[in-house]
A and B are shown apart, each in its own frame.
Chain A
């Protein structure tokens, strides 16, 4: 199985901050890397697929980059509604695997 490791596990930030979350795969996933946002008590929401393709309706302050084993999710200007846990997930091979999550809090 491909292991996905996110860093940091949690971070504290303020409204307006630029936030960067990193995801590293144990082997190349090419660009088969997806990002999800999960708020407490809610289901995850797909933000970005294919490493950098923003899903419809997702604000443009979210962006993704990377390929191979190293990927980044960036929130350019953190908004109050962005405080949540973020997960990366590889869809290159079965079983699909998730990172452990990054909690973004005030």
Chain B
């Protein structure tokens, strides 16, 4: 069965960096675009970034553009999110999610359990 497992969350000071990872299994990881989506405590869902199946195309939400970088290693079935210059506004549970297509149809058929990032001094 499809499984997505995030890791790397934690408490970090404003201005610092953090790298999240998502390990995929139970499907052909290189066949699907992948997304990061976040949810601030008690709030709704916000799409963060997408990467195509081969890593050749990436898109970001304006709120993270220039600070976050999405990447993937298909040989290790791993998706990553490098987060720099973090602010308190970035505090959220971060989910990785699978797209049904290779390039990105922008809907999310499987989600990981999420990893909490807390930005606080």
Contact = CB atoms under 8 A, between A and B. Distances in A.
Given A94-B106, A96-B106, A101 B111 contact: no
B107 A89 contact: yes
Contacts of B105: 91
Contact of B45 (A45, A55, A87): A87
Interface size class of A (residues with CB under 8 A): 20 to 34
A41 to B, nearest CB: 9
Contacts, number: 50
Nearest to B4: A43
B111 A44 contact: yes
A58 B69 CA distance: 34
Contacts of A34: 107-108
B59 A94 contact: yes
Nearest to A34: B107
Interface residues of B, number: 19
Interface string B79-119: 00000000000000001000010000111111111100000
A46 B61 contact: no
A49 B108 CA distance: 9
Contacts of A89: 45, 107-108
Contacts of A64: none
A95 interface: yes
A106 to B, nearest CB: 20
Contacts of A55: 109
A67 interface: no
Interface string B43-62: 01111000000000001011
A43 B45 contact: no
Given A43-B95, A43-B114, A98 B109 contact: no
Contacts of B61: 95
Interface string A37-74: 00000111110010000010000000000000000000
Interface of A: 32, 34, 36, 42-46, 49, 55, 87, 89, 91, 94-101
